[in-house]
Structure 1
């Protein structure tokens, strides 16, 4: 089934179907999965579809669909100048049994790929160390902007870091985007957000010690202060 993107009604988006890229998982008392769908206008979309999948907090003790929290994070990071997927539609409603149904539809990041895939396909060797250093710097600056805004990604694995490199040498353009912000939240201080995410990225990435040291140097320069325990 295809859909014209201009029509953003919940029912029409809910009826949209495509290839599962993340099979529905049972968690948080419900199901959540992601499908890849082509719209009628040729645009590639990713549809996160949820049923009864909620989080609870002091503000929402009865539960709130997690895609609404992800929408807040996507909009918050974009306002800080951090590249994230564009939102096409986001909404939630209760079915006849009172269970939440929720959708988050985003545009594909054309030309981007997971940073680990970029490494595995020879991106570093193809573009050279100068471009690779630039990639580390752009990633560091993106993370610093997020953290200075007191946003914590909370699931900062290398598989959620996407990169796009066009051109060669000094003329190369390097872009970095962050995905999967379902668990993102605001922290009281930028330092708390930074320490949590960077320690998590260190555990869930394959950066060499040398590359990690470069990343932290670029990060602390952009962040504006040193953070202990990130080596």
Structure 2
């Protein structure tokens, strides 16, 4: 399975080896899980383009469809394609390849974006940032509701996996972009409600949102998906 990159004209195996051997610094040190190894490095090419290269070896998952296991990156690649089809913003997928027990997934840097986690850490309690926070929460709610309407469950909706670009929101022009990262564990559920009730509590657990801020987020989510989730207010 290969997604060809237009700027590289190598054969498939040469292209795979190119990405497997590129230099860079680790943003996620290789760690052992799922019976294999997985890590992510950041690589800058000769013209200054920045890429994130996920490398995995013997890193598989098992399911009813794949009882003997399949490379985790294959599932993530399918998720990127599915999210693109339904209009859920993600980093641009540049390359995905599998060679034996090894697998690679390469995405482009999200220029101008910052993780929701980092933005929350940098924000203070000023009125301007409170206005921006409510705008960001509204935008995140809209994107997640769209994803859940298609019955997709992200499974790791942590603030570090939600990236935002505020653009001119500080000047009162609400033009916020949201992108979702790390689709490795995403999957379809039987109902949208199942996806909602699994994903949204993760945001609450991994942020320091006040009760007022959390209730606002849930309200905006309910408006976006035209449904009610009383249990989320608890």
Assess same fold via TM > 0.5: yes
Equivalence for 1:105:
106
C-alpha distance 106-124 of structure 1, shift in aligned 2 (>3 A) = farther
Q: Does 2:191 match 1:189?
A: yes
Residue 166 of structure 1 aligns to a residue whose secondary structure is: coil
C-alpha distance 83-123 of structure 1, shift in aligned 2 (>3 A) = farther
Residue in structure 1 matching 2:210, options 196, 208, 214: 208
For residue 125 of structure 1, report the CA deviation from its aligned partner.
3.6
C-alpha distance in 2 between matches for 1:6 and 1:70 = 23
Residue 220 of structure 1 aligns to a residue whose secondary structure is: helix
For residue 130 of structure 1, report the CA deviation from its aligned partner.
3.2
Residue 103 of structure 1 aligns to a residue whose secondary structure is: strand
Residue in structure 1 matching 2:48, options 39, 42, 46: 42
Please tell me whether the aligned partners of residues 130 and 169 of structure 1 are also in contact (alpha carbons under 8 angstroms).
Answer: no
For residue 5 of structure 1, report the CA deviation from its aligned partner.
6.8
Residue 156 of structure 1 aligns to a residue whose secondary structure is: coil
For residue 24 of structure 1, report the CA deviation from its aligned partner.
0.5
Q: Does 2:21 match 1:15?
A: yes
For residue 59 of structure 1, report the CA deviation from its aligned partner.
1.1
CA RMSD of aligned residues (A): 1.8
Equivalence for 2:117:
116
Give the length in aligned residue pairs.
223
Residue ranges of structure 1 left out of the alignment (5+ in a row): 95-99
C-alpha distance in 1 between matches for 2:135 and 2:85 = 23
Please tell me whether the aligned partners of residues 38 and 57 of structure 2 are also in contact (alpha carbons under 8 angstroms).
Answer: yes
Please tell me whether the aligned partners of residues 161 and 177 of structure 1 are also in contact (alpha carbons under 8 angstroms).
Answer: yes
Please tell me whether the aligned partners of residues 157 and 200 of structure 1 are also in contact (alpha carbons under 8 angstroms).
Answer: yes
Taking structure 2 as the reference length, the TM-score comes to 0.89
Residue ranges of structure 2 left out of the alignment (5+ in a row): none
C-alpha distance 124-135 of structure 1, shift in aligned 2 (>3 A) = farther
For residue 67 of structure 1, report the CA deviation from its aligned partner.
1.1
Q: Does 2:32 match 1:26?
A: yes
C-alpha distance in 2 between matches for 1:80 and 1:173 = 20
Task: Please give the per-residue CA displacement for 1:156-194, whole angstroms capped at 9, x wherever unaligned.
Answer: 111211111122333242111111111111111111011
Runs of 4+ deviating beyond 6 Å = none
